[in-house]
Structure 1
Amino acid sequence: MLNRQLSLLALGLAAATPAVLSQKPGSFEDGGDTLVSAMMLLLGNDEKVYILDKSEGNPAQINGHPAMGAVYDIATRKAQVMDVTSNVFCASGMHLPNGSFITLGGNGAIGPGGNIGSVQAEGGGSGLFDETYQDYDGTRAIRILNPCTGDATGPACEWFDDANVLAMQKHRWYSTAEPLGDGSIAIIGGFTNGGYVNRNYPNLDPAYEGGAAEPTFEFFPSRGEAQVMQFIVDTSGLNAYPHTYTLPSGKLFLQANISSMIWDPDTNSENRLPNMPENIVRVYPASGAVAMLPLTPANNWTPTILFCGGSDMPDYAWGNYSWPYINTWEYPASAKCHRITPEPSDNSSADYEEDDPMLETRTMGQFIALPDGTMMVVNGGLNGTAGYSTQTLITTSYSDMPYGMSLASGPVGTPGIYDPRKPKGQRWSNTGLDASEIPRLYHSSALLLPDASVLIAGSNPNVDVNTSTIFPTTYKAEIFYPSYFSAKTRPTPQGVPKTISYGGDKFDITVPAASYSGAANDAADSAAVMLMRPGFTTHAMNMGQRSMQLNNTYTVNSDGSLTLHVAQAPPNSNIFQPGPALLFVTINGIPSNGTYVIVGNGQIGKQPTAAASTLPANVRLDSVKGTGEGGSSTSNTTSNNSSGASHTGPIIGAVVGAIALVGILGAIFGICLARRRRAALRNSPSSSYPMGAAPNAGGQDNPSMAWNASSLSVNSPYLDQTPAGARSGGQSVEFDPYYQNTPRMSTAHGQR
């Protein structure tokens, strides 16, 4: 325990004394072994990162089968396997208002080589369980995690994963999850079965593709029957993981294929926007780098979305579910960038604007918002697309595939830094940044850490574990240190609250003189208080990622310390949706360590708001200086309004009613049911499938696994989510037929 505390102190997670930096700016360091290939990452709290992988032959085992999940300790850089029972392959995910996380959907039960599970539903049909990898069908699963701190273990810290208790209405693979202003989640689109792109060719059934596409949306918690979204029908084929962002109005901006729109989730009405310029595709498998730019007082917290890279391959080249129709690895990705402000503050018409191009072409590049107000793009390749296959329409033999199953080539090892505050023509730079020697292509990931470094992991363009191919299954993580690590010390803010509300009374943060250097007035002028949400990362996108600067003024004190008078979040929960975040204080472009906070009241529902915070005027002292040994950063931080005027925007009361749903559900169901089901299967080698093990099981009901919501002693809106096909009150409900008339692919990503 003492070693662990010392490790945490070395990372600056305790801010009582100035944090001393020793890392080389712009460098990569060994981040340890993730045990499972990091297809998905999420920051659970200021200590832990959670990792998810698809069902495959990972050497790391848990309960007698290959692991699909792990928890990574940031301080020690050590991972420990976690049990995930349903196949989380290409799922979506999102935070909840209380700091818990959910993942949504995934693939069917898969065994070695990506083959469908060996245990069939009664009467045949699609596989529901694989005896070798022991994974269950994950296509309707809603998995819930309550992140834990310290050395806590046990059911309350595990993934709750049982689609008989908690499930979506529809089977979804490559769907998008986006949080709304009340903390609920919109779940949009996806495949039910498929491979490279979400279409047959020719595309004669754009809505359902013979049963393999899912053009609907639903919500968590449920708001009723899933409904068709016309935009998903119209973007058929290239609409996996549609890019989705909640706007201040409460409507959502969506982009897929080359189309864009603003969608009202309450009325299912659509307002189409101009197409993506030059027919550049940014969704999977083109997989451009896409993110919302920082929300600041200077832009009145108005969202602008930046799209970079991707591919302008002609429509024919994308092929169909099975494989692309060209050798994608020979086709350069795009370097171009475009931005759009979907709801301009001047009420003008929204349109795309060309921005500075990246420094190289890039597919599968991923934007990470940094707390100094810049955006970093990392990972990806110069050519081709995401996905994998054993052939194309041109190269018909796997033995002739030059990069194994990878459909991309030319790994890009050097990150790029985009600064939205700089003039056009000067926004991109990679000066002083090292290059990683690890190819990070399909299924790579990246995530901002609390010390303002970036965790980079994953890469696995293979149907199953393959460590001998040219782009292998990768378990090695790296930590990247941005240029602001050039400083010898960093701010150590004191008095950071645990919750942030939507409007209401300001709060004060003190920055000691020993944690910055130079003139106090200059340091105070440069101060920025940033709320950062790293998001749920998968497939070169961070769902829910946000970067927002809170308005502040300051008082320079006679001892050289700075008191920052900080406004609560704007009084509009659509701008920065309720849930977990990291609060950083940046001085002279150098960020502090992030403090874990909850934005909002910790509950799903309309968030309390109050008037925008009123801030006092700035108070300056000309003769005072900081005493730290800090160096200057190359970052250019925007100064705050020195007049003391506050910007307007909405707010919330910040009493966090911690919802212990996951702990309770995990304790009651998680490990108990998983082990019971696995034991039942191991003890009964027959092909019958025990009820309670999969969302569409057609076997006999097992009374010992019945679920009765009324028996739970917790009052939570999350529990009002009983799936239509789940058992309630011990009663068995027959599930709908699964994958009827679905084309069956033999070689592409996600074969069945």
Structure 2
Amino acid sequence: MKIMLSFLLPSFFFSAALAQTAGSIVEVGDTQVSAMMMFLGNEEKVYILDKVEGNAAKIQGHSAWAAVWDIASSTTTLMDMTTNTFCASGMHLPNGSFATFGGNKAIGPQGADSDQPGFDSTYDDSDGGTSIRILNPCTGTNCQWFDNANLLSMQQRRWYAGTEALADGSVVLIGGFVNGGYVNRNLPNNDPTYEGGGAEPTFEFFPARDAGAQLMQFMTTTSGLNSYAHAYLMPSGQMFVQANLSTILWDYNNNIETPLPKMPHGVVRVYPASGAVAMLPLTPANNYTPSVLFCGGSNMPADAYGDYLQPKINTFYYPASNDCQRITPEPQDGSAPEYVQDDDMLEGRTMGQFIILPTGKLLILNGGSNGTAGYATATDETPSYADMPYGMSLAAAPVLTPAIYDPDAPAGSRWSRDGIQTSQIPRLYHSSALLLPDASVIIAGSNPNVDVNLTTFFPTTYTAERFYPPYFSATTRPVPQGVPAKLSYGGAPFDIQLDPSSYTGDGNDAAGNTTVVIIRPGFTTHAMNMGQRFLQLNNTFTVMQNGTILLHVSQVPPNPNLITPGPVLLFVVVDGIPSNGTMVIVGNGKIGTQPTHTVQELPAAVTSTPTPTDTPSSTKSSNKSSDARRTTVGLGALVLSMACALPAMIFLTDFS
């Protein structure tokens, strides 16, 4: 079955978006399940996953832990799941599908062990420790997860695994816990590799490779604080990996690690310290050279984290870090990589989350000024749950006001929250955020509790919000025509048309201040967006006499390491005002070596010149408009075809 999507969003969607106040945070309804994980399936739907717990919403006679949120109507439809998705990881696949990996064992109320081997009859959940679940997004309400660990599973149990996509569209899964806990170690730490069977120090691939799961030395080096390791594929094909205080470049094909400098100032950025981390935009101006930004987290002493059970100290009183560091793992000038001090955040923040906006600026939101992620009934300093000041939460002092970071601003002036409103909803552990096609941001979740608790200090939260960045003050937004359904790695450029109604002011000025960008919003969980990337496509333009702008746009650079195959949102940004995003597929839609092509040169930029009133209109741009490529632009609404509800075994055949 195929669903055809127009490349232009309905006019009511524009109107609703523009009605919002720039900088505002608006409640948009109930997600029915607490949004621990989210991803954008297409231009219409956000898919939500929760941990197994006693949600009031029921499906098939049991509490639900999955849902799909319709963007236009802000309504939620429940989805059925089989296995426990608690603390899974996730990633896009080349054809637009998404996969989640691992999770928790089967549990009953209050996190109790299941009443049957591998299954709990109260919550109807099965063990998710080795599960691989696949969803092919669709625009209706009949999409279903393929969730059968007997047919599709990992080689090892993984809870909090690091996850990154590769150039061929496959996925690498890094480390994790076996069954969960606060930090990935025992005390005393006499077995830093396996922790007596509690830690999973290997890596593996999906689809699986013949070599199977292999030991990764980095997991031993970072023992204890290596959950959801930060992993970013580099242009060379090596991978930048950071956890605890250690950093490496990793040749995952040959399992060779090259040490990089340690994280300065003793600040940990992985769970449960949970700093905000993102790759900065890849642009022609920086020659598509990746830099990674780390902000916040915690500089708690190593022993303060305790063990699998609970922290040693009262983390909720310990201030989070406001420190920010940048690193360029593969400098093009041949220099050695090093961490560079960046502007401090406006306050300390743990569990802060970066969302890359179409303007290339980074939004940070959610989190707290004190403590860490995770929950517990006690600490070594507060052994009685009755004395825990914030219930099970190990964090406090929620940071309720987002801020925006401008990576191109001069040092000392990169942070701002001018005109940004404050939320009234704390977003602590198990919060999430995601860029939407209209360039707003959905914010959801927060549940530092073992099971649903609506009366504790920081309760289970179902209410979602949307944040409207400052560009929502614009009365005119670009409406691109001719956006393709697919992008290739190199090859012939394509044209996008902007009518004069898409901008204000002079057409030449608008064209000179227009960028075309693709953004992968990523799979969001635990203050991370796995797979999130921003890449600006090169472009020139022709401005016609009537003010119409034709953008001549290059394909994706012919290096799939820069942005791996799969779904992205394409935005046209004019004078800092983004269009609605159109979902397109990068690559050939299949797992395997991606075809690359020679980059074809873009036409020179052509501006429009005023036409004398006593002569017929005849300008460079009007002459140019007669060529074949320009006359085909806008001949009709292009469509995007996406697979919907494919039978599970057909999907597996495609990827075997």
Q: What is the TM-score with the length of structure 2 in the denominator?
A: 0.93
Taking the TM superposition and a 5 Å limit, the aligned residue runs for 1:299-318 are 299-318=286-305
Q: Is 1:525 matched up with 2:522?
A: no
Give the conservation status (yes or no) of the 8 Å contact 2:9–2:580: no
Aligned ranges 1:392-411 → 2 under 5 Å: 392-411=379-398
Classify the secondary structure of the residue corresponding to 2:191.
coil
Report 1:415-494 matches (<5 A). 415-494=402-481
Deviation at residue 201 of structure 1 after TM alignment: 1.0
In structure 1, C-alpha distance between the alignment counterparts of 2:423 and 2:94, rounded to whole Å: 36
Q: What is residue 178 of structure 1 aligned with on the other side?
A: 164
- The equivalent residue for 1:361 is 348
Deviation at 1:716, TM superposition (A): 3.3
Conserved 8 A contact 1:207-1:215 = yes
Distance in 1 of aligned mates of 2:20 and 2:365:
19
Match of 1:708 in 2: none
Contact 1:98 1:657 in 2 (8 A): no
Whether contact under 8 Å (2:565, 2:586) holds in the other structure is yes
| Alignment partner of 1:346 out of 317, 327, 333 | 333
Q: Work out whether residues 139 and 172 of structure 1, in 8 Å CA contact, stay in contact via their aligned partners in 2.
A: yes
Equivalence for 2:635:
none
Report the counterpart of residue 56 of structure 1 in structure 2: 53
Paired residues for 1:508-657 under 5 Å: 508-623=495-610
For the 8 Å contact 2:560–2:594, the answer to whether it is kept is: yes
Residue number among 11, 18, 40 corresponding to 1:21 in the alignment: 18
Q: Give the Cα–Cα distance (whole angstroms) in 1 for the partners of residues 653 and 330 of structure 2.
A: 34
Paired residues of 1:19 and 1:491 also in contact (CA < 8 A): no
Distance of aligned partners of 1:421 and 1:623 in 2 relative to their CA distance in 1, 3 Å threshold: farther
1:165 matches 2:154: no
What residue is the counterpart of 1:671 in the other structure?
A: none
CA contact (8 A) 1:8 1:75 kept: no
Measured at CA, do residues 445 and 107 of structure 1 come closer, stay the same or move farther in structure 2, by a change above 3 Å?
Answer: same
1:263 aligned partner: 250
Distance in 2 (alpha carbons) for counterparts of 1:286 and 1:662: 38
| Counterpart code for 2:308 | Y
- In structure 1, stretches of 5+ residues that fail to align are 13-17, 121-127, 625-655, 666-711, 721-752
Match of 2:12 among 7, 10, 13: 10
Give the deviation of 1:241 after TM superposition.
0.2
Q: 1:473 to 1:560 in 2, by over 3 A?
A: same
Matches within 5 A, 1:48-447: 48-120=45-117, 128-149=118-139, 151-153=140-142, 157-224=143-210, 225-447=212-434
Q: Write the deviation string for residues 509-536 of structure 1: whole angstroms up to 9, x where unpaired.
A: 0111011101111111110101010000
Distance 1:87 1:250, change over 3 A: same
1:663 maps onto 2:622 in alignment: no
CA deviation map 1:375-418 (0-9, x unaligned): 00010000000000000000010010000000000101111100
Q: 1:169 to 1:99 in 2, by over 3 A?
A: same
The AA in structure 2 aligned to 1:287 is: S
Letter in 2 for 1:134: D
Task: Please tell me the residue identity of whatever aligns with 1:148.
Answer: C
| Aligned residues of 1:490 and 1:592 also touching (Cα < 8 A) | yes
Inter-partner Cα distance in structure 2 for 1:472 and 1:657: 41
Q: In structure 2, how many angstroms separate the alpha carbons of the residues matched to 1:65 and 1:44?
A: 25
Query: CA offset at residue 9 of structure 1?
Result: 2.8
In structure 2, distance between residues paired with 1:482 and 1:147? 27
List 4+ stretches of structure 1 deviating above 6 A. 656-659
Q: CA deviation at 1:574?
A: 0.5
Question: Contact between 1:512 and 1:560, CA under 8 Å: does it hold in 2?
Answer: yes
Instruction: Please report how far the alpha carbon of residue 19 of structure 1 lies from its aligned counterpart in structure 2 after TM superposition.
Output: 9.1
The 1:532/1:657 distance shift into structure 2, 3 A limit, reads closer
Please list the CA deviations of residues 244-300 of structure 1 after superposition, one character each: whole Å capped at 9, or x if unmatched: 000011110000000000001110000010000011000000000000000000001
Report SS of the residue matched to 2:303: helix
RMSD: 1.8
Alpha-carbon separation, structure 2, partners of 1:713 and 1:334 = 48
Q: How many residues align?
A: 623
Contact 1:335–1:360 (CA under 8 A) maintained in structure 2? yes
Asked whether the equivalents of residues 602 and 658 of structure 1 are also in contact (C-alpha less than 8 Å), the reply is no
Structure 1 position 57, deviation (Å): 0.1
Residues 580/714 of structure 1: CA separation in 2 closer, same or farther (3 Å cut): closer
Q: Secondary structure at the match of 1:518?
A: coil
SS at match of 1:547: strand
Q: Does the 8 Å contact 2:104/2:128 carry over to 1? A: yes
Q: Return the alpha-carbon distance in structure 2 between the equivalents of residues 289 and 449 of structure 1.
A: 19
Q: What is the aligned partner in structure 1 of residue 625 from structure 2?
A: none
The answer to whether the 8 Å contact 1:508/1:563 transfers is yes
Q: 1:661 to 1:436 in 2, by over 3 A?
A: closer
Q: 3-state DSSP class of the match of 2:369?
A: strand
Between the aligned partners of 1:108 and 1:354, the Cα distance in structure 2 is: 41
Answer yes or no: is the 8 Å Cα contact 1:20–1:490 preserved in 2: no
Which amino acid is 2:199 matched to?
Answer: A
CA distance in 2, matches of 1:9, 1:463: 43
Over residues 664-709 of structure 1, what are the superposed CA-to-partner deviations in whole Å (9 max), with x where a residue is unaligned? 11xxxxxxxxxxxxxxxxxxxxxxxxxxxxxxxxxxxxxxxxxxxx
Specify the code of the residue in structure 1 equivalent to 2:133: R
Q: Which amino acid aligns with 1:159?
A: W
Q: Once the 2 structures are TM-superposed, how far is the Cα of residue 152 of structure 1 from its aligned partner?
A: 4.8
Displacement of 1:430 in angstroms is 0.4
Gaps of 5+ in 2: 1-6, 612-638
TM-score (norm 1): 0.81
Deviation per CA, 1:455-513: give whole Å up to 9, x if none.
00000000000000110000000010000001001000000000011000000001110
> What letter corresponds to residue 139 of structure 1 in structure 2?
G
Residue type matched to 1:196 in 2?
A: Y
Which of 716, 724, 728 lines up with 2:653 in the alignment? 716
Q: Distance in 2 between the 1:138 and 1:368 partners?
A: 28
Shift in CA distance, 447/659, structure 1 to aligned 2, threshold 3 Å: closer
**Secondary structure, in 3 states, of the residue corresponding to 1:72?**
strand
> For 1:93, what is the secondary structure of its paired residue?
strand
**Alpha-carbon contact 2:138-2:642 (below 8 Å) kept:** no
CA contact (8 A) 1:173 1:190 kept: yes
**1:684 paired residue number:** none
Taking a change above 3 Å as real, the CA distance of residues 19 and 29 of structure 1, as seen in their structure-2 partners, is closer
What do the CA deviations read for 1:417-461 (whole angstroms, capped 9, x no partner)?
A: 001111111110001000100000000000000000000000000
8 Å CA contact 1:197, 1:319 repeated in 2: yes
Q: CA deviation at 1:74?
A: 0.3
3-state SS of the aligned residue for 1:413? coil
Offset of 1:713 from its aligned partner?
6.0
